Amino acid sequence: MRLLILLSSLLVSFAVTAQRTQKPVLHGKHWMAITGKPLGATAGALTFAKGGNAVDAACAMLGATATMWDVLSWGGETQALIYNPNTGKVIGVNALGVAPTGATPEFYAEKDLKYPPEYGPLNAVTPGTPGGLMTMLAEFGTMSLKEVLAPAMQMAEGYPIEAQAANAMEYHKEKIKDWPYSAKTYLTHPGEDREAPVAGEIFVQQDLWNTLNKLVEAEANALKKGKSRKEAIYDAYDRFYKGDIAKEFARGAQEQGGLITEKDLGNWEVYLEEPVKTNYKGIDVYKLTTWVQGPVLLQALNILENFDLKQMGYNTARYIHTLYQAMNMAFADRDFYYGDPYTPPAEPIEGLLSKDYAKARANTIDMEANDETIGPGDPYQFQDGDNPYLEYLEMWNKQLKGDPVGYLEDGTFSETEGFYAGTTSIQTADKDGWVVSITPSGGWIPAVIAGNTGVGMSQRGQSFVLDSSQNPYNVIQPGQRPRATLTPSLALKDGKPFLSFAVQGGDSQDQNLLQFFLNMVEFDMNVQESAEAPNFNSFQMRSSFGDHKIEPGRLLLNENTPPWTRKALRGMGYDLEYRERTSGPINAIWFDWENGSFWGGSSNFGEDYGIGW
């Protein structure tokens, strides 16, 4: 009897120890597909099953999630990192739209706007996702556009809509009614009490299907003429940006008060670029450069390298405080120095990623209290050239020390839900070594749909500023990309893929990704444990949306944070709030080279989902 009791006790203990996460680790030998929605992951699995590689699958997932309005649409933007096993290199994909003709600071100032608006056609940049998808597929995929778009086209013919999208349509219906093509698409029951679809209703998008079919037609016609797979995909690309689709998109945008022209669409291009990186304890971490907030993660890692984080302990008050200060330093630099590297002035990326600059910043951290006056540093001291905006820099720091909030208009940020809203993430990998990390976004509900294209216009223009003193590298002008929040991540160790990871959200993204990465590297969590582990969030940076507000000292903690940690943080000057889940909707793939397999982590934060084989 004693033996039975002992065995039962051991089994219970083992079960509790073995199941430490709400969702299991995903395991795969041949491929892995993870994204923000179950149907999106299924599109990737279907593509892998047909023989596609990780790029083909990622493109199919991108098309599917854009079609189902997974907090993005076809008129949004795509940011990607791709590991090419044939070259051993990481490639950046820049498919972010640009400000259109007429989008100048003076234009918005005449409308008494302090920033481009949060909603409507005047915050739209040119669509990037179609071009990004077709460029990735043409350059690195193996399948035809017709094959890759098949899941998206089936969904456009009608799919059971999820509650999140359907309820967003209903919530925003009065705004949607201002835009006729949006109302036609979103409000499937006009005049009824509930005008948007209900969860599970078959949601049909005929205009979008027509647009996607035109792309497939262009590819088919090119193939009939003897063109290669790659050339045929680029013919479809040209039809979107220079043909009849572009014509209707521009017409529909302008009809509703937008600025985008056919010339804007025809001049836009995707950039394949070299990403930036840093090395943290033998791991090379890659991010896209200053046209997104990606270098924030690299800067924070460089600063934190000067501290013994493991000795501090996971999510202790000292650990949280140290990361909070380091993140705020990196975000302050983001808010002042980041912008489009393809338009002048040139961003000081060499200085920003200098280890010496990071050490100098680390040495200024007050380990006993939150510093509400953290501002941008001067990275030009750590690279060639002089800082051309010292006057603005001094102005920023004087204002921060005198009134931490006043220069940004005192007020509260949007609800915490809004802080996490937006974007999705796509992670794929295959047995041949291809790895893809994408954070597509833009054109979320409520989007202005451009004419009869079925394509929702991006709202990314709101991330620009109108005044050089606020961010001299990110002032709106035609042809310039706004500094976006979107930030895929790849890490290599010993020259081989180590981790592919990304998260949806806005200004929370590189905060959650930093903690996720450290959870694995410093605290030995597996990929699923790290994806679910409680994070914390700072709001002590300029919001990238709406009125660009800031809240120094505001700290979001998990509600399970122990009372002694809460007490210590209050004593450091933090204004605390709590939430049941603070992991962030993180998706990731860890590469198990010892066993030749993939470990997938799919967040329990929202509706994220993954499939492996």
Q: What distance in Å separates the CA atoms of residue 215 and residue 234, rounded to the nearest whole number? A: 10
Average pLDDT in the 67-92 region? Answer: 95
For residue 422, what pLDDT is reported?
Answer: 60
Neighbour order of strands in the sheet with 426-430: 271-273, 89-95, 78-84, 435-438, 426-430, 31-35, 609-612
Answer whether 476's CB lies under 8 Å from 461's CB. yes
pLDDT digits (tens, 9 = 90+) for 316-358: 999 999 999 999 999 999 999 999 999 999 999 999 999 999 9
Read off the tokens for 8: 């039962």
Give the mean pLDDT of the chain: 91
Q: What is the DSSP string of 81-113?
A: EEEETTTTEEEEEEE-----TT--HHHHHTTT-
Is the pTM for the entire model greater than 0.75? yes
Read off the tokens for 63: 């098309």
Maximum C-alpha span of the chain: 85
pLDDT digits (tens, 9 = 90+) for 195-222: 999 999 999 999 999 999 999 999 999 9
Among all chains, which residue has been given the structure tokens 């999208």? 165
For residue 131, what pLDDT is reported?
Answer: 98
Please give the CATH topology (third level) of the domain spanning 276-422+490-612. Serum Albumin; Chain A, Domain 1 (1.10.246)
* Residue 559 pLDDT class (50, 70, 90 cuts): very high
For residue 495, what pLDDT is reported?
Answer: 95
For residue 143, what pLDDT is reported?
Answer: 98
Answer whether 283's CB lies under 8 Å from 491's CB. yes
pLDDT digits (tens, 9 = 90+) for 137-167: 999 999 999 999 999 999 999 999 999 899 9
Average pLDDT in the 124-135 region? Answer: 98
Read off the tokens for 402: 């005198």
Q: What is the DSSP string of 486-551?
A: ---EEEEETTEEEEEEEE-SSTTHHHHHHHHHHHHHTT---HHHHHHS---EE--S--SSTT----
State which amino acid sits at residue 79. Q
Q: Report percent pLDDT > 70 for the chain.
A: 93
State which amino acid sits at residue 402. G
* Residue 584 pLDDT class (50, 70, 90 cuts): confident
Answer whether 581's CB lies under 8 Å from 605's CB. yes
pLDDT digits (tens, 9 = 90+) for 501-540: 998 877 778 989 999 999 999 999 999 999 999 999 998 8
In angstroms, how far is CA 420 from the centroid of its own chain?
Answer: 10
Q: What angle do CA 215, 55, 94 make, to 5 degrees?
A: 75
For residue 10, what pLDDT is reported?
Answer: 36
The alpha carbon torsion through 310, 315, 321, 324 (nearest 10 deg) reads 100
3-state secondary structure 343-401: CCCCCCHHHHCCHHHHHHHHCCCCCCCCCCCCCCCCHHHHCCCCCCCHHHHHHHHHHHH
More confident residue, 442 or 497: 497
Answer whether 221's CB lies under 8 Å from 146's CB. no
**Closest C-alpha among 478, 471, 540, 429 to residue 48:** 429
Parse the chain into domains and list their residue ranges: 38-272+425-463, 276-422+490-612
Average pLDDT in the 458-487 region? Answer: 93
Q: Give the H or E element holding residue 17.
A: helix 2-18
For residue 421, what pLDDT is reported?
Answer: 55
Answer whether 321's CB lies under 8 Å from 370's CB. yes
Q: Within a 10 A sphere around the Cβ of 494, how many other Cβ atoms?
A: 9
Answer whether 216's CB lies under 8 Å from 236's CB. yes
Average pLDDT in the 1-12 region? Answer: 37
CA–CA distances in Å: residue 539 to residues 218, 483, 494: 47, 18, 36
Q: Give the H or E element holding residue 262.
A: helix 262-267
Q: What distance in Å separates the CA atoms of residue 356 and residue 349, rounded to the nearest whole number? A: 13
For residue 508, what pLDDT is reported?
Answer: 78
Q: What distance in Å separates the CA atoms of residue 164 and residue 498, rounded to the nearest whole number? A: 33
Average pLDDT in the 245-266 region? Answer: 98
Using DSSP, state whether 71 is helix, strand or coil: coil
User: Would you call 273 exposed, middle or buried from its count of C-beta atoms within 10 A (0-12, 13-18, 19+)?
Assistant: middle
More confident residue, 72 or 227: 227
pLDDT digits (tens, 9 = 90+) for 282-327: 999 999 999 999 999 999 999 999 999 999 999 999 999 999 999 9
- Judged against a pLDDT cut of 90, whether residue 413 lies above it is answered with no
Answer whether 290's CB lies under 8 Å from 298's CB. no
3-state secondary structure 214-255: HHHHHHHHHHHCCCCHHHHHHHHHHHHHHCHHHHHHHHHHHH
Q: What angle do CA 383, 384, 388 make, to 5 degrees?
A: 100
Cβ within 8 Å of residue 5, ≥6 positions away: none
Please, what's the b/e burial string for 544-581 (b: 16 or more CB within 10 A of its CB; e: otherwise)? bbeebbbbbbbbbbbeebeeebbebbeebbbebeeeeb
Q: What distance in Å separates the CA atoms of residue 241 and residue 263, rounded to the nearest whole number? A: 9
- Judged against a pLDDT cut of 50, whether residue 6 lies above it is answered with no
Q: Give the H or E element holding residue 80.
A: strand 78-84
Average pLDDT in the 543-552 region? Answer: 80
Answer whether 482's CB lies under 8 Å from 125's CB. yes
pLDDT digits (tens, 9 = 90+) for 270-281: 999 999 999 999
- Judged against a pLDDT cut of 90, whether residue 492 lies above it is answered with yes
State which amino acid sits at residue 21. T
The conformational region for residue 166 under phi > 0 = left, psi -120 to 50 = alpha, else beta, is alpha
Phi, psi values for residue 159, rounded to 5°: -140, 155
Average pLDDT in the 255-279 region? Answer: 98
User: Would you call 20 exposed, middle or buried from its count of C-beta atoms within 10 A (0-12, 13-18, 19+)?
Assistant: exposed
Average pLDDT in the 383-409 region? Answer: 72
Q: How many residues does the chain have?
A: 613
Using DSSP, state whether 397 is helix, strand or coil: helix
Give the DSSP letter of residue 593: T
Answer whether 456's CB lies under 8 Å from 97's CB. no
Q: What distance in Å separates the CA atoms of residue 156 and residue 103, rounded to the nearest whole number? A: 32
State which amino acid sits at residue 275. P
Answer whether 143's CB lies under 8 Å from 50's CB. yes
For residue 550, what pLDDT is reported?
Answer: 84
Neighbour order of strands in the sheet with 276-280: 26-28, 597-602, 586-592, 496-503, 489-493, 283-287, 276-280
Answer whether 36's CB lies under 8 Å from 608's CB. yes
